[in-house]
Amino acid sequence: MIIEKIVSEIAQENAYILSNSAFSILIDPGSQPEKIIAKLQEIDKPLTAILLTHAHFDHIMGLDTLKQAYPNAQVYLHENEKEWLKNPELNASALMLPFPVTCKTNIDEYYVCDTPYNLSGLKFHVRHTPGHSIGGISLVFEEEELIFSGDALFAGAIGRTDLPSGNHTQLLQSIEAELFSLPDDYTVYPGHGPSTTIGNEKLYNPFF
């Protein structure tokens, strides 16, 4: 599996394109879809899925454009945030931007946590990691020993908890139960900033 990271400008959020020999999937479409589309065209593998780790504005702004460009890509989200795409208060754009963010795209499937997924040969399972947001999830790829943690866990930090549905205690519990239970050598690809490892965060993250 090949991983491409695209950083968008509005909040320095990370989008990730994962590809194998035949297909690709996208994690979090970010705020600059044109950069993502350019990379997808370079990769030249059909996009089969768009996986949302959560529905804050900086992770969904490019969704409509990506879906228009790749109408066959299935969109996944946790059901707890099913109203957020169309609600600027919930997706925090009303709080943090001078304009509201809404998406017309419909969700094709809500995650079933702890159930194995195989999307075009890309295998993973989903762990519910609320606290930053009520429907926040992390994607665990066991064969590759890596995890996409959304805005739950960062290198040397954790997600903010002062936005709608945020809960600091719940976030710490989510990370300890769902992420720190993974092997130390798992690589963590967060929604912002550089990658890290589970072991490094258990040792040095100042929130634990």
Mapped onto helix, strand or coil, the DSSP state of residue 207 is coil
pLDDT of residue 171: 99
| Cβ count near 100 (within 10 Å) | 13
Is 9 a residue whose pLDDT tops 90?
no
Closest CA to 151 of 80, 81, 18, 56: 56
For residues 187 and 205, give the distance between their C-alpha atoms in angstroms, rounded to a whole number: 15
Give residue-wise pLDDT tens across range 56-92. 999 999 999 999 999 999 999 999 999 999 999 999 9
For residues 149 and 162, give the distance between their C-alpha atoms in angstroms, rounded to a whole number: 18
Is 188 a residue whose pLDDT tops 90?
yes
For residues 141 and 31, give the distance between their C-alpha atoms in angstroms, rounded to a whole number: 25
3-state secondary structure 138-186: EEEECCCCEEEEECCEECCEECCCCCCCCCHHHHHHHHHHHHCCCCCCC
pLDDT of residue 132: 98
At position 190, the amino acid (one-letter code) is: P
Which residues are bridge partners to 164 per DSSP? none
pTM: 0.96
- pLDDT band for position 203 (cuts 50, 70, 90): very high
Give residue-wise pLDDT tens across range 145-183. 999 999 999 999 999 999 999 999 999 999 999 999 999
At position 28, the amino acid (one-letter code) is: D
Q: What percentage of the chain reaches a pLDDT higher than 70?
A: 100
Write down how long the chain is.
208
How many CA atoms are closer than 13 Å to the CA of 89, on its beta-carbon side? 1
What is the rounded average pLDDT for all residues in the chain? 97
For residues 149 and 139, give the distance between their C-alpha atoms in angstroms, rounded to a whole number: 7
For residues 14 and 191, give the distance between their C-alpha atoms in angstroms, rounded to a whole number: 5
For residues 117 and 76, give the distance between their C-alpha atoms in angstroms, rounded to a whole number: 12
**What would the CATH number be for the domain defined by 2-204?**
3.60.15.10
Mapped onto helix, strand or coil, the DSSP state of residue 69 is helix
